[in-house]
Amino acid sequence: MSYMDLPARHKELLNLIGQKKRIPVAELSQSLSVSEVTIRKDLNQLAQQGYLRREHGYAVLLESDDTAKHLSFNHERKTAIARRAAISVCDGETVMIESGGCCSLLAEELVKTHKHITIITNSAFIAAYIRRQNGARIILLGGEYQHDSQVMVGPILQRCVAGLAVDKLFIGTDGCNETGFMTNDEDRAAATQAMADHAKNIIILTESEKFLRTGRIPLIAYDRLAMVYTDDQLTGDTRTEMEERGVPLILARTR
């Protein structure tokens, strides 16, 4: 079952689990004001559908590169970020969009609300996700296919982008450190950096919790960014740190 077809309580469960990664059943029961028996039944259903893992007394977020699963966590915040970022795009524009939950929702928002938009992407998931939207013009970059994340990477992709030039590239991230945003996948980092070399403005879309994480591989330095879109749950301390590093921020309203 897709995220959009889930019952409202299941969506709220996934949002709570996504925030903490591992959460007691008793805490979920208290947060949603339903019995632990009901929560356990809900969690068993979600586990069968591949959204989470059960441990004794706990629900645990499954670590996965599957974009469809990523969309199920913090969906409301991702949507708010995508809608805010879409304002920066004009009708008739051609943009590049990398993979991830926020980026997928941005692509959907653009083809729903803008006219004559062309989206260049290395994400087969995004191409499939928006394929039924009226007016969606998609250019899917070639390359080696990553099965879990459904993105194209490698030397072929780098050759595909060699002749391109766009004003905006939108990318996601797994975390950040003192010099820039990070990822956990070397091939995806190389693909993103190749795309960034052919974009005038590089723009990050990410939930505020990613600022509290790091990653294994550098993705993009702060001084190369035109803008970062995140949600309004970003802490004051983190916002101050980013501003001191010269990182331009726009916070999407979620409350």
Residues 185-208 pLDDT 10s: 999 999 999 999 999 999 999 999
Residues 22-45 pLDDT 10s: 899 999 999 999 999 999 999 999
Residue 226 has pLDDT above 70, yes or no: yes
Q: Establish how many alpha carbons lie within 13 A of residue 86's alpha carbon, considering only the half-sphere containing its beta carbon.
A: 23
Give the tokens for residue 243: 């501003």
The residues pairing with 204 across neighbouring beta strands, listed in sequence order, are 171, 228
Backbone φ and ψ for 31, nearest 5 degrees, come out as -65, -35
Q: Which residue did the predictor score with more confidence, 51 or 107?
A: 107
Q: Kindly report the average pLDDT of the chain as a whole number.
A: 90
Q: Mean pLDDT throughout 67-84?
A: 81
Exposed/middle/buried for 49, CB within 10 Å: 0-12, 13-18, 19+? middle
Closest alpha carbon to 75 in 171, 17, 11: 11
User: What pLDDT is attached to residue 76?
Assistant: 85
Q: What count of other Cβ atoms lies within 10 Å of the Cβ of residue 250?
A: 15
Residue 101, helix vs strand vs coil: helix
Q: Mean pLDDT throughout 139-167?
A: 94
Q: Report the Cα–Cα distance between both ends of the chain, in Å, rounded.
A: 28
Residue 220, helix vs strand vs coil: strand
Residue 46 has pLDDT above 80, yes or no: yes
User: What pLDDT is attached to residue 63?
Assistant: 65
Q: Which residue did the predictor score with more confidence, 176 or 149?
A: 176
